[in-house]
Protein backbone atom coordinates (compact mmCIF):
# COMPACT_ATOMS: atom_id res chain seq x y z
CA UNK A 1 0.00 0.00 0.00
CA UNK A 2 1.08 3.54 -0.65
CA UNK A 3 1.10 5.86 2.37
CA UNK A 4 2.11 9.52 2.27
CA UNK A 5 2.30 10.31 6.01
CA UNK A 6 6.11 10.20 6.01
CA UNK A 7 6.46 12.64 3.10
CA UNK A 8 7.61 16.24 3.46
CA UNK A 9 6.89 18.72 0.64
CA UNK A 10 8.16 22.18 -0.17
CA UNK A 11 6.17 25.34 0.26
CA UNK A 12 6.76 28.27 -2.09
CA UNK A 13 8.21 30.22 0.86
CA UNK A 14 11.16 27.82 1.04
CA UNK A 15 9.75 26.16 4.16
CA UNK A 16 8.62 22.55 4.27
CA UNK A 17 5.32 20.92 5.22
CA UNK A 18 4.93 17.40 6.57
CA UNK A 19 1.96 15.67 4.99
CA UNK A 20 1.46 13.96 8.36
CA UNK A 21 0.06 17.36 9.44
CA UNK A 22 -3.01 16.51 7.33
CA UNK A 23 -3.65 13.34 9.35
CA UNK A 24 -7.36 12.71 9.86
CA UNK A 25 -8.28 14.50 6.63
CA UNK A 26 -9.16 13.14 3.20
CA UNK A 27 -6.79 14.56 0.59
CA UNK A 28 -6.99 15.04 -3.14
CA UNK A 29 -3.49 15.61 -4.55
CA UNK A 30 -3.31 17.07 -8.06
CA UNK A 31 -0.39 17.98 -10.35
CA UNK A 32 -1.47 21.23 -12.02
CA UNK A 33 -0.36 23.37 -14.96
CA UNK A 34 -1.50 26.80 -16.16
CA UNK A 35 -1.13 26.23 -19.91
CA UNK A 36 -2.79 22.82 -20.26
CA UNK A 37 -5.98 21.82 -22.02
CA UNK A 38 -7.18 20.65 -18.59
CA UNK A 39 -6.44 23.95 -16.82
CA UNK A 40 -10.16 24.79 -16.68
CA UNK A 41 -10.41 21.96 -14.12
CA UNK A 42 -9.21 24.50 -11.55
CA UNK A 43 -12.82 25.75 -11.39
CA UNK A 44 -14.16 22.30 -10.52
CA UNK A 45 -11.32 21.62 -8.11
CA UNK A 46 -12.15 24.80 -6.20
CA UNK A 47 -15.82 23.76 -6.12
CA UNK A 48 -14.83 20.35 -4.68
CA UNK A 49 -12.67 22.07 -2.09
CA UNK A 50 -15.46 24.41 -0.99
CA UNK A 51 -18.05 21.61 -0.94
CA UNK A 52 -16.11 19.05 1.06
CA UNK A 53 -13.71 21.14 3.19
CA UNK A 54 -16.20 21.37 6.10
CA UNK A 55 -16.25 17.54 6.22
CA UNK A 56 -12.47 17.20 6.62
CA UNK A 57 -11.31 17.39 3.00
CA UNK A 58 -8.18 19.13 1.70
CA UNK A 59 -7.07 19.64 -1.87
CA UNK A 60 -3.32 19.96 -2.39
CA UNK A 61 -2.14 21.33 -5.74
CA UNK A 62 1.41 20.81 -6.99
CA UNK A 63 2.47 22.80 -10.06
CA UNK A 64 4.43 20.60 -12.43
CA UNK A 65 6.27 21.42 -15.67
CA UNK A 66 6.96 17.77 -16.63
CA UNK A 67 4.26 17.40 -19.26
CA UNK A 68 4.53 19.55 -22.37
CA UNK A 69 6.34 22.29 -20.39
CA UNK A 70 2.89 23.66 -19.54
CA UNK A 71 3.86 25.19 -16.19
CA UNK A 72 6.99 27.26 -16.87
CA UNK A 73 6.09 30.24 -14.66
CA UNK A 74 7.30 31.24 -11.21
CA UNK A 75 5.22 30.42 -8.17
CA UNK A 76 4.14 34.06 -7.86
CA UNK A 77 2.87 34.07 -11.46
CA UNK A 78 1.11 30.72 -11.00
CA UNK A 79 -0.58 31.88 -7.79
CA UNK A 80 -1.69 35.12 -9.42
CA UNK A 81 -3.07 33.26 -12.45
CA UNK A 82 -5.02 30.89 -10.19
CA UNK A 83 -6.38 33.67 -8.01
CA UNK A 84 -7.45 35.94 -10.87
CA UNK A 85 -8.90 33.27 -13.15
CA UNK A 86 -10.26 30.70 -10.71
CA UNK A 87 -10.29 32.24 -7.23
CA UNK A 88 -8.63 29.17 -5.75
CA UNK A 89 -8.41 28.96 -1.99
CA UNK A 90 -6.79 25.52 -1.68
CA UNK A 91 -3.04 25.23 -1.00
CA UNK A 92 -0.71 25.66 -3.96
CA UNK A 93 2.64 24.07 -3.13
CA UNK A 94 6.07 24.55 -4.69
CA UNK A 95 6.66 23.16 -8.17
CA UNK A 96 7.81 19.53 -8.27
CA UNK A 97 8.53 16.65 -10.64
CA UNK A 98 5.88 13.95 -10.97
CA UNK A 99 8.05 11.68 -13.13
CA UNK A 100 11.59 11.04 -14.25
CA UNK A 101 14.90 10.91 -12.41
CA UNK A 102 14.00 13.97 -10.31
CA UNK A 103 10.55 12.62 -9.33
CA UNK A 104 9.57 13.97 -5.94
CA UNK A 105 9.28 11.51 -3.05
CA UNK A 106 5.56 12.37 -2.92
CA UNK A 107 4.92 11.19 -6.46
CA UNK A 108 7.24 8.23 -5.98
CA UNK A 109 4.92 7.12 -3.19
CA UNK A 110 1.64 8.05 -4.90
CA UNK A 111 2.34 5.94 -7.98
CA UNK A 112 3.02 2.90 -5.79
CA UNK A 113 -0.79 2.73 -5.35
CA UNK A 114 -1.40 1.17 -8.77
CA UNK A 115 2.07 1.17 -10.36
CA UNK A 116 0.69 3.55 -13.00
CA UNK A 117 3.02 6.46 -13.74
CA UNK A 118 1.61 9.94 -13.96
CA UNK A 119 0.99 10.49 -17.67
CA UNK A 120 -0.15 14.13 -17.80
CA UNK A 121 -1.23 17.21 -15.88
CA UNK A 122 -4.27 17.20 -13.59
CA UNK A 123 -4.02 13.60 -12.48
CA UNK A 124 -5.67 13.15 -9.11
CA UNK A 125 -4.75 10.92 -6.18
CA UNK A 126 -7.23 10.37 -3.36
CA UNK A 127 -5.79 9.74 0.10
CA UNK A 128 -7.85 8.53 3.06
CA UNK A 129 -7.74 9.87 6.61
CA UNK A 130 -4.91 7.51 7.58
CA UNK A 131 -2.66 8.64 4.70
CA UNK A 132 -3.28 5.60 2.47
CA UNK A 133 -3.69 6.25 -1.25
CA UNK A 134 -7.13 4.90 -2.20
CA UNK A 135 -7.59 6.19 -5.75
CA UNK A 136 -5.83 7.41 -8.88
CA UNK A 137 -7.83 9.34 -11.45
CA UNK A 138 -6.40 10.28 -14.84
CA UNK A 139 -6.52 13.79 -16.31
CA UNK A 140 -9.77 13.20 -18.19
CA UNK A 141 -11.62 12.52 -14.94
CA UNK A 142 -13.17 15.90 -14.23
CA UNK A 143 -13.63 17.19 -10.70
CA UNK A 144 -17.39 17.00 -11.25
CA UNK A 145 -17.40 13.36 -12.37
CA UNK A 146 -19.45 10.96 -10.28
CA UNK A 147 -16.58 8.47 -10.07
CA UNK A 148 -14.44 11.08 -8.29
CA UNK A 149 -17.12 12.66 -6.09
CA UNK A 150 -18.41 9.23 -5.05
CA UNK A 151 -14.87 8.18 -4.08
CA UNK A 152 -14.38 11.39 -2.07
CA UNK A 153 -17.70 10.91 -0.27
CA UNK A 154 -16.87 7.29 0.49
CA UNK A 155 -13.46 8.28 1.91
CA UNK A 156 -15.08 11.04 4.00
CA UNK A 157 -17.64 8.57 5.38
CA UNK A 158 -15.02 6.07 6.57
> Annotated catalytic sites, by residue?
36
Q: Where are the alpha helices (DSSP H) in 53-145?
A: 75-86, 105-110
Dihedral of the CA atoms 151, 144, 23, 75 (nearest 10)?
150
CA distance linking residue 74 with residue 59, whole number of Å: 21
Q: Assess contact for 26 and 126: CB atoms under 8 A.
A: yes
Cβ count within 10 A of residue 127:
26
Q: Assess contact for 96 and 11: CB atoms under 8 A.
A: no
CA distance linking residue 106 with residue 123, whole number of Å: 14
Amino acid sequence: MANITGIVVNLPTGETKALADYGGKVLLIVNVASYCGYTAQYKGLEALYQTYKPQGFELLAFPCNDFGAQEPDSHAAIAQFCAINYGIQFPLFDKLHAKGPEQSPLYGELVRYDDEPVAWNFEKFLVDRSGEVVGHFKSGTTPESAILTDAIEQALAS
